[in-house]
Amino acid sequence: MDTTDGLIPAGIMPANWKPVIEPVSADKIASGDFTPVKHIQYEPPSKVHTMKDLNLPENTGISPIAVSEPFRLFSTGAIHRMRAEVLSKDVWDNCQYSSNLAQCQLRGFAAKYAPFVYDTWKHPETLAIISKIAGVELVTEMDFEIAHINISVKSDKQREEEVQAFVEKKAFDEDEGIAGCPWEDNKPIVDWHTDSYPFVCVTMLSDCTSMIGGETALKTGNNEIVKVRGPQMGCAVVLQGRYIEHQALRALGTTERITMVTSFRPRCPNLPDDTVLTTVRPISNLSELYSQYSEYRLEILEERVRAQLRGFRENKRDGKKINVKAMKDFIARQEDFLAHMNREMIEEELVTMGSIDDSHLLTAKDDEVKKKRKRVA
């Protein structure tokens, strides 16, 4: 199987690949539970961009916040613990997926194989940090999405050849006065997409000291492309990715790029939950995904119904007449909620694993993007 694009083919761990960060022996990795005072090294982002800044409708999504600049989140020790779990044999053997959007992803592993990763994202202090940046109180989407790992690796020879080609093209473009996107933008790690979930936190697990590129490209409301620089090891970016088309650009100058993407939804049951399963359905254990999706959505519905019932009983106790219009509006919203849920739960025999269509995109794709999708597929 051709591996010249530098990505790990599905189901294969390359024998000649060495992690940029050498694995730390088990006896040297600190043990114990996730401890915020020890493992969180939070430094607020230098800037947080709003939906308005990106020329997107301000009433889009669940928060006015679009994306943060990279910020320090975890200690080096925490990253080593995460890498040890993510790169374990159990995870690679049981939790690896690929698709036409990205060729190597690890999913649905934390609850069973990565207790440190799981506890990190479930901890109230971690959630408080992400919520503060996002401008809305968030919780993890569901256990299956703790966390999604995107992996790109290449050999030392590939790394050197790419950097040399980049240097030569940059020099040529400068001599000719050519402006535009560098060549590596045509080979994204993850192609144009919107996320299935309202917010994500993208954490870098690789050493990016010598990395060129690796930014996240965002499509604005007027169809322009802006870039947010990639985070360094232990740093993260918060993005309202359900409502913003974006892609992960390829990184040069390093033999690996491993990112951890953790998804979030609003804690408040009365806020919209626009979760779709379009980009995750074909790269998931559908039994686990549908079970967890059903559970949390029904819990939201339960909370809404209980709140409505409390209000109804209070009004009845106070001798007030039922507000028929308000009750019908409530019922209609819950009907829409259930209908949306029903649409997302496609029968397993109708799902083509690894094949993600374009229905998640917000804007029409131009010919060049269509060509890129064919190339990746």
User: How many Å apart are CA 240 and CA 276, to the nearest integer?
Assistant: 14
**Residue 66 φ then ψ, to 5°:** -100, -60
Q: Is 186 helix (H, G, I), strand (E, B) or coil?
A: helix
For the chain, counts of helices (H) and of strands (E): 10, 16
Q: Is 75 helix (H, G, I), strand (E, B) or coil?
A: coil
Q: What pLDDT is stored for residue 187 in this prediction?
A: 60
**Residue 263 φ then ψ, to 5°:** -100, 150
User: How many Å apart are CA 298 and CA 218, to the nearest integer?
Assistant: 33
User: How many Å apart are CA 203 and CA 207, to the nearest integer?
Assistant: 12
Counting Cα atoms < 13 Å in the Cβ hemisphere of 168 gives 6
For 91, the enclosing helix (H) or strand (E) is: helix 89-94
User: How many Å apart are CA 301 and CA 296, to the nearest integer?
Assistant: 9
Q: What pLDDT is stored for residue 294 in this prediction?
A: 98
pLDDT in tens, the chain (377 residues): 333 333 343 444 444 445 555 554 544 455 679 999 999 999 999 999 999 999 998 888 999 999 999 999 999 999 999 999 999 989 989 999 988 767 789 999 999 999 999 999 999 999 999 999 999 999 999 999 998 998 877 655 655 555 555 554 444 444 444 444 444 455 665 678 889 999 999 999 988 877 777 788 899 988 888 888 778 899 999 999 999 998 877 767 667 888 999 999 999 999 999 999 988 999 999 999 999 999 999 999 999 999 999 999 999 999 999 999 999 999 999 999 999 999 999 999 999 888 777 666 666 544 444 444 333 33
- DSSP letters, 260-304, are EEEEEEESSTTS------TTTGGGS-HHHHHHHHHHHHHHHHHHH
- DSSP letters, 119-158, are HHHHSHHHHHHHHHHHTS-EEES-GGGTTEEEEEE--HHH
Other C-beta atoms lying within 10 Å of the C-beta of residue 143: 18
Amino acid, single-letter form, for residue 238: V
Q: Cis before residue 251, ω within 30 degrees of 0?
A: no
Largest CA distance in the chain: 82
Q: What pLDDT is stored for residue 39 in this prediction?
A: 97
For 199, the enclosing helix (H) or strand (E) is: strand 199-204
Q: What pLDDT is stored for residue 293 in this prediction?
A: 98
Contact predicate 358/101, CB 8 Å: no
Contact predicate 262/255, CB 8 Å: no
User: How many Å apart are CA 173 and CA 365, to the nearest integer?
Assistant: 27
Q: What pLDDT is stored for residue 214 in this prediction?
A: 75
Q: What pLDDT is stored for residue 4 in this prediction?
A: 31
Tokens matching residue 209: 């000291």
